[in-house]
Structure 1
């Protein structure tokens, strides 16, 4: 019985070894397929230039094999021109793009005031001097740093109704900026605080414009700068603004009739609701 148990155990070990070997072989076969070991090397056709008879171009590559993914592919290439050796193409990058020309950048020049442009020079640092430019000059527009100190506004000019001030260039700004700049703007109402006016009474309401006005005479201020008279206007309205009504002066009370006396005022502007406020009554 003991011998039978040992034989059975050895038989199981042999079977397991056989299965492991087969499984390992299958995995190796799949791995080799993934890595493309069954594909033959690429075979290329003659390089054809994109333009003319030489320069950058393309070539078609083919490969054979039962488990290859792609069997045809287009590759970049270069057709040597007359007097140029094929080795000159070594300056191209891995993807077949332009030649590798790397430059050291110089400092930007001062801004040219006439063109508003500045420039700097690039000097070849890495690349084939036969195919790369030894020096390149690039230009761009200037972003001028013009910082100004603001002066005080002048008094308002009564004739032009404007005021002025001067802007002065700060230290450290771009030398191409103007040293000074004049600035002008319109005067807003009440800006010239040195001009004081004495105003009369409001005028009667103008029914066509629903406006009334009053005139002020210069009381204090420089007459060369301040207007001699000033007119201000506003809408005709009663306090509260619910109805726009404008009346004349009240008349005298009438004699007593039926135990009351009345007085009236003329309605200059307003609707039907204003009529109620044009008459006052009081008991006799």
Structure 2
């Protein structure tokens, strides 16, 4: 009776450990690729490709990480509010300019803060967006009725 109890206890322990290991593997998918590439080469030796989203033009995707003669696909993510052509570059932007009445757009420029994954980035960029239809009030101005 005691041996049956011991065997049952061992099986229960093994089942619990197996379930825990599979649960950890699900939550940490894709991390082995990153650590393997990083351990083989220094960051300066590794060349990263552009992040290509799996669906649409933003969200989760993959990029090539090339080191020596070995290329791995590693997971990456493109934030949905970033422009495609500057997605691997971080810029510090100034305030939006005034609305251009002829094109109905306003622009602002940004200077390069840092490049992610050894990306080739422009030193300065200009972005534009449509002007809002609402006219903002100046502080202290009262409503006119």
Q: TM-score, normalised by structure 2?
A: 0.42
Normalized per residue, the structure richer in helix is 2
Normalized per residue, the structure richer in strand is 1
Higher RCO (C-alpha 8 Å, min separation 6): 2
Q: TM-score, normalised by structure 1?
A: 0.25
- The structure number with the bigger radius of gyration is 1
